[in-house]
Amino acid sequence: MAVTQSELVRTWRHVLDMCKVHSGETVALLTRPGANAQNLAAAYHALEDIGCHVFELQPLIKSRPLRENKVAMEALRNSNFILDFIGLHLLRTYELDLITETGARMLYVVEPPEALVRLVPTVEDKLRVQRAGEKLRGARKLRVQSDAGTDMSVAIGDYKVLLEYGYSDEPGHWDHWPAGFLATWPNEGSANGVVVLEAGDIIFPFKSYVRSPIRLDIEGGYIRKISGGFDADLLREFMAQHKDPEAYAVSHLGWGLSSRARWTALALLGQGTNGNDGRSFEGNFLFSTGPNTDGGGKRDTLCHLDIPMRNCSVSLDGVPVTERGVVLDN
């Protein structure tokens, strides 16, 4: 779907209004070479229309973490609102908490314009994610099952609950546009059971659909065995090449809540998407591996997989919240 620049600017203005960005606020744009030029231009136009003080930072962070750049960190910490066109470099290197602890609001935006326009967040998105978040915060056990053979249980409660609803309207809040899911991290060593990926599940960062079943045997919080055909071989080799035992840890778990996100979007957008349709489509179970530093833990690794799975049933303390990929708003 082609998006005109005027349509994109209107969309940006609407989302910035939802983020409570107002005249006189200082807004930082964290950018990188290759960031979507259409998005950047639309963001600048909308911010100028609002009357913000805007500046752009393009830090070199491949060889040294951003937190070592004291001038840049202070500029971000003293900003009211931050548009992040870089993303995961911040999430996994502790800068995020250092920046948002000052009350700065941050919105991560890396999806192509057509996805942004199609997945404009709403207040109801936030309310739905918050309602689900209350259930997740109050639970102590999460179990996921599927007809394909998945049956895994984890203890939860030691780590924070992540809520993503597509806009950042509260002091210190980080969010991702587009979005519509929630997750938490299992208590250390508590994940046990079997996860079976079936055809149609999605593996990120591969940005590809699973074609043949992959069985993951999980014990004591870690994947102990990966079995199956070609897809399993590819996954096994990818994880092994990191030479890091922490790559096999079970990381954040949750489910998608966006009725507008599309499971099929990856087939159309391909490598041009960061994959938030896949992470957010309603009823998916989001299984992940690797680090838990962004949840408040100490386990860090460069190998991180996000795997949205279809047709799963999720329960909290024995109470179902999804059934075969259908969200139960009970």
Give the H or E element holding residue 305: strand 305-309
Buried b / exposed e over 148-176, threshold 16 CB at 10 Å, is: bebebbbbbbbbebbbbbbbbbeeebbbb
pLDDT digits (tens, 9 = 90+) for 132-174: 999 999 999 999 999 999 999 999 999 999 999 999 999 999 9
Is the pLDDT at 305 greater than 80? The verdict is: yes
- Residue 317, sorted as left (phi over 0), alpha (psi -120 to 50) or beta, turns out to be left
Q: Taking a C-beta distance cutoff of 8 angstroms, is the pair 179, 124 a contact?
A: no
Question: For residue 88, what pLDDT is reported?
Answer: 62
Q: Taking a C-beta distance cutoff of 8 angstroms, is the pair 151, 145 a contact?
A: yes
Buried b / exposed e over 89-98, threshold 16 CB at 10 Å, is: bbbbbebbee
Cα 327 from Cα 313, distance rounded (Å): 9
Q: Taking a C-beta distance cutoff of 8 angstroms, is the pair 193, 204 a contact?
A: no
Parallel, antiparallel or unpaired: strands 81-84 and 26-30: parallel
Which backbone phi and psi does 289 adopt, to 5 degrees? -135, 160
Question: For residue 95, what pLDDT is reported?
Answer: 83
Average pLDDT, the chain: 95
Buried b / exposed e over 298-313, threshold 16 CB at 10 Å, is: eebbebbbbbbbbbbb
Higher pLDDT among residues 306 and 34, named by residue = 306
The owner of tokens 């409570």 is: 20
Listed by start position, the domains of the chain span 5-118, 123-165+177-327
Is the pLDDT at 314 greater than 80? The verdict is: yes
pLDDT digits (tens, 9 = 90+) for 196-246: 999 999 999 999 999 999 999 999 999 999 999 999 999 999 999 999 999
Three-state DSSP class for residue 248: helix
Q: Alpha helices of 142-249 — where are they, by DSSP H?
A: 230-240
**CATH topology for the 5-118 domain:** Rossmann fold (3.40.50)
Average pLDDT over residues 12-17: 98
Is the pLDDT at 330 greater than 60? The verdict is: no
pLDDT digits (tens, 9 = 90+) for 86-138: 876 565 557 888 999 999 999 999 999 999 999 999 999 999 999 999 999 99
The band of 180, judged by pLDDT with boundaries at 50, 70 and 90, is very high
Q: Among the ranges 51-60, 211-220, 262-271, which has the highest mean pLDDT value?
A: 211-220
How many Cα atoms within 13 Å fall on the side-chain side of residue 320?
12
The number of beta carbons lying within 10 Å of the beta carbon of residue 249 is: 26
214: tokens are 């992959």
pTM of the model: 0.93
Higher pLDDT among residues 273 and 113, named by residue = 113
